């Protein structure tokens, strides 16, 4: 799948504000600074569709993008950003939990994990949370350009060990870099396939 159209639809804070047209939907979740907005720009081939910043915490709402006029990609605010108040953090976490657990057209969440660093406790906790909420998810490893090719296996193994301590099998995963565009084709092919399954399902 090539992305021909990418339209910003809006920034929302509650589920009732979100589009209600039941198009297949995917969400990018991950720690602040993991590369969610960059990946969205990379997938769409647009430099500044989503705001990327050196200072974390830029994305504060559920930002909806409509791709190829068929499916939504939602760029969620990152978790684990230290410099925000406790109250604000609670608000964010409530907003994200509500969105993830109640959004019926969410085909898959994508949890973004920075492959260039060790598995982080907060990420593993968030993955647990996805499991508890029974949200279908896949993993997107980001920033793979920052590690040497020979080190990849070692980094992947660390994540796999951490995940398999709590899960019986690995979810689907993708290895990506917004800089080198690695993983773009594979990720879009996965989305295309799930879109098809979803569309068949709601039409049946
Ligand atoms: P929040 O909106 O704060 O949650 O952050 P985010 O997850 O959207 O991260 P963002 O895309 O803004 O990227 C954060 C920083 O990481 C920026 O400085 C990006 O340039 C950098 N970055 C993102 N993806 C990659 C990548 O694949 N490779 C490298 N080398 N840097 C990246
Ligand atoms: Mg962002």
CB 78 within 8 A of CB 31: yes
pLDDT at 56 over 60: no
Residues at Cβ < 5 Å from ligand 2 ion: 36-37, 59
The residue contributing the CA closest to ligand 1 atom 14 is: 33
pLDDT at 57 over 80: no
Burial code of 35-54, b = ≥16 C-beta within 10 A, e = fewer?
bbbbbbbbbbeeeebbebee
Q: Report the C-alpha gap between 189 and 204 in whole angstroms.
A: 23
**Confidence band for 87, pLDDT divided at 50, 70 and 90:** confident
35 CA → ligand 1 middle, Å: 3
Q: Length of the chain in residues, anyone?
A: 204
The residue contributing the CA closest to ligand 1 atom 2 is: 59
Point out the ligand nearest to the CA of residue 145.
Answer: 1
Rg over CA atoms, the chain: 16
The residue contributing the CA closest to ligand 1 atom 18 is: 54
**Confidence band for 53, pLDDT divided at 50, 70 and 90:** low
Collapsed DSSP state (helix, strand, coil) of residue 9: strand
To test the pocket of ligand 1, the residue of 11, 28, 33 to mutate (highest count of ligand atoms within 8 Å of its CB) is 33
Ligand 1 binding residues, C-beta < 6 A: 30, 32-38, 52-54, 56-59, 77-78, 142-143, 145-146, 177-179
Single pTM value for the model: 0.93
Percent of the chain beyond pLDDT 90?
Answer: 73
């Amino acid at each position: 799948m090539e992305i021909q159209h990418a339209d910003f639809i809006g920034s929302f804070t509650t589920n009732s504000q979100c589009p209600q047209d039941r198009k297949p939907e995917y969400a990018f979740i991950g720690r602040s600074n993991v590369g969610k907005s960059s990946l969205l720009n990379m997938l769409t081939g647009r430099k500044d569709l989503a705001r990327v910043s050196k200072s974390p915490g830029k994305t504060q709402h559920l930002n909806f993008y409509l791709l190829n006029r068929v499916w939504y990609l939602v760029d969620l605010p990152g978790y684990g950003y230290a410099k925000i108040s406790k109250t604000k953090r609670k608000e964010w976490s409530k907003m994200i939990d509500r969105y993830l657990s109640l959004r019926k057209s969410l085909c898959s969440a994508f949890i973004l994990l920075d492959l260039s660093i060790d598995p982080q406790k907060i990420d593993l906790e968030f993955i647990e949370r996805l499991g508890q909420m029974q949200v279908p998810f896949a993993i997107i490893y980001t920033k793979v350009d920052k590690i040497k090719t020979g080190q990849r296996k070692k980094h992947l193994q660390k994540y796999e060990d951490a995940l398999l301590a709590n899960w019986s099998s690995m979810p689907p995963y993708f290895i990506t870099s917004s800089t080198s565009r690695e993983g773009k084709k594979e990720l879009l092919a996965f989305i295309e396939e799930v879109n098809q399954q979803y569309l068949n399902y709601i039409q049946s």
